[in-house]
Amino acid sequence: MTGAQMTGRLSNKIAVITGAARGIGRATALRFAEEGADVALLDIGRDVPGIPYAGAKSSQLDEVKAEVEALGRKALALTADVTKTDQVNAAVASVIATWGRIDLMVAAAGIDSWANAWELTDEQWQTMMDVNLTGVWKIARAVSPAMIEQKSGAMVFIGSVLSHRANKQFAHYTAAKHGVLGVMRAFALELAPYGIRANSVDPTVVKTDMVFNPQYLDRLGGHPGTTMDEARAHYLKWNTLPIPWCEPVDIANAVLFLASDEARAITGIALPVDLGALLK
Ligand X SMILES: NC(=O)c1ccc[n+]([C@@H]2O[C@H](COP(=O)([O-])OP(=O)(O)OC[C@H]3O[C@@H](n4cnc5c(N)ncnc54)[C@H](O)[C@@H]3O)[C@@H](O)[C@H]2O)c1
Residues lying near ligand X in the complex (CB under 6 A) are found at 18-19, 21-25, 43-44, 48, 55-56, 81-83, 108-111, 131, 135, 158, 160, 203, 205-206, 208-211
Which DSSP symbol is given to 129? I
Give the Cβ contact number of residue 211 at 10 Å.
Answer: 17
Nearer to ligand X, 111 or 231 (CB): 111
Nearest distance in Å: CB 175, ligand X:
13
Nearer to ligand X, 25 or 179 (CB): 25
Nearer to ligand X, 165 or 264 (CB): 165
Nearest distance in Å: CB 36, ligand X:
23
Task: Select the residue whose beta carbon is closest to ligand X and give its number.
Answer: 23
194 is catalytic: no
Going from the C-alpha of 222 to that of each of 118, 155, 196, 234, the distances in angstroms are 19, 38, 45, 11
Nearer to ligand X, 115 or 148 (CB): 115
Going from the C-alpha of 118 to that of each of 122, 127, 168, 171, the distances in angstroms are 11, 17, 11, 9
Nearer to ligand X, 108 or 259 (CB): 108
Nearest distance in Å: CB 131, ligand X:
5
Nearest distance in Å: CB 149, ligand X:
25
Nearest distance in Å: CB 232, ligand X:
14
CA distance 134 to 262: 29
H/E segment holding residue 142: helix 135-150
Count of all residues that appear for the chain in the document: 280
> Long-range contacts for 256-259 (Cβ within 8 Å, ≥24 apart)?
256/9, 256/10, 256/28, 256/31, 256/32, 256/35, 258/154, 258/156, 258/197, 258/199, 258/201, 259/10, 259/13, 259/15, 259/32, 259/104, 259/106, 259/154, 259/156
CB 119 within 8 A of CB 218: no
Which DSSP symbol is given to 17? E
The single residue of 173, 194, 216, 235 carrying the catalytic annotation is 173
Residues serving a catalytic function are: 173
